[in-house]
Amino acid sequence: MKIHGHYVPNRDEWILQQCAGKRVLHLGCTDWPLTADRLKEGRLLHQKLVSTCSLVTGVDPDKEGIACLRQFMPKQIFHVIRAEEMHTVREIADTEWDIILAADVVEHISNLGAALDSISSLMKSTTKLLITTPSAFSMKRFLAWTLAGIEHVHPDHCYYFSPSTLQQILCRSALKLEQIGFFMWKNNKTSNRLALRLLAPFNKLMAGRLADELAAICGK
């Protein structure tokens, strides 16, 4: 599979640009176990979407996180449900969504095929599915593993994807990969800031193909 991707400088800015003025179903709208802290800091993605989208509905199986969001944003709509079961909620199924957003979600889902089937059933021909997820070709993780024998991975992650394997799992749910981008995961740790600086020339030279995460736009 020949990849014609692009480097995405900032994940949240890219997502907000895609979702501006749209009707958005946001999968994984909490940030367990940091939802309350992210809200106070103004850093929660769902919080940013509310001020950008014409309609945004949050979905997450995290009961405590949803309770926190409902308290902080009482006028917004949230559902405590797994992605595999979203199509069974009438309010979700009866809404015509412009965007279904799964930002750093698919790598957590045990039965990903069932989740993508549910997503596919909610999509019209004009609906787009946005996915961000860890890349199998991250140079940062590869170097840590090669040089120090350390695998930097979230304890709840089940998968790493490449563009080809992501396309394969999408096809099995009648979905197609339309655009692919790559971005670096940023935090305030000194080690991460140093790694970003060292790897910046490679990301620019290779259009981000060795970056930390994939950013995909998918359709029916």
CATH number of the domain encompassing residue 139: 3.40.50.150
Question: Could you report the per-residue pLDDT of 33-44, keeping only the tens digit for each?
Answer: 889 999 999 999
Q: Is pLDDT at 189 greater than 80 in this prediction?
A: no
Residue 28 CA, chain-centre distance (Å), reads: 8
Among candidates 148, 181, 145, which has minimal Cα distance to 163? 181
148-174 burial: b if 16+ Cβ within 10 Å, else e: eeeebeeeeeeebbebeebbebbeebe
Question: Could you report the per-residue pLDDT of 49-58, keeping only the tens digit for each?
Answer: 999 999 999 9
Phi-psi category of 42—alpha, beta or left, where left has phi over 0 and alpha has psi -120 to 50? left
Cβ partners under 8 Å of residue 193, min gap 6: none
Phi-psi category of 21—alpha, beta or left, where left has phi over 0 and alpha has psi -120 to 50? left
Q: Give the pLDDT confidence score for residue 1 in this predicted structure.
A: 66
Mean of the pLDDT values across residues 151-169?
92
Instruction: Give, in order, the Cα–Cα distances in Å from 154 to each of 51, 80, 133, 189, 218.
Output: 29, 22, 12, 16, 25
Tell me whether residue 123 is in a domain: yes
Give bridge partners of residue 131 from the DSSP assignment.
Answer: 102, 216
Chain-wide mean pLDDT for the chain?
92
What pTM, to 2 d.p., does this model score? Answer: 0.92
**Range name among 100-104, 204-208, 209-213 with the lowest pLDDT average:** 204-208
Tell me whether residue 1 is in a domain: no
219 CB-contact burial (10 Å; exposed 0-12 / middle 13-18 / buried 19+): middle
Cα dihedral sign, 5-130-85-88: negative
Cis peptide before 33 (omega within 30 of 0): yes
Q: Is pLDDT at 154 greater than 90 in this prediction?
A: no
Cβ distance 21 to 54 under 8 Å? Answer: yes
Tell me whether residue 60 is in a domain: yes
Tell me whether residue 95 is in a domain: yes
Tell me whether residue 121 is in a domain: yes
Q: Give the pLDDT confidence score for residue 218 in this predicted structure.
A: 98
Domain of 122, in residue numbers: 6-219
Total of domains in the chain: 1
User: E strands along the chain, which residues?
Assistant: 6-7, 23-27, 55-60, 77-80, 99-103, 128-134, 176-183, 213-219
Beta pairing, strands 128-134 & 213-219? antiparallel
Q: Give the pLDDT confidence score for residue 2 in this predicted structure.
A: 66
Q: Give the pLDDT confidence score for residue 3 in this predicted structure.
A: 65
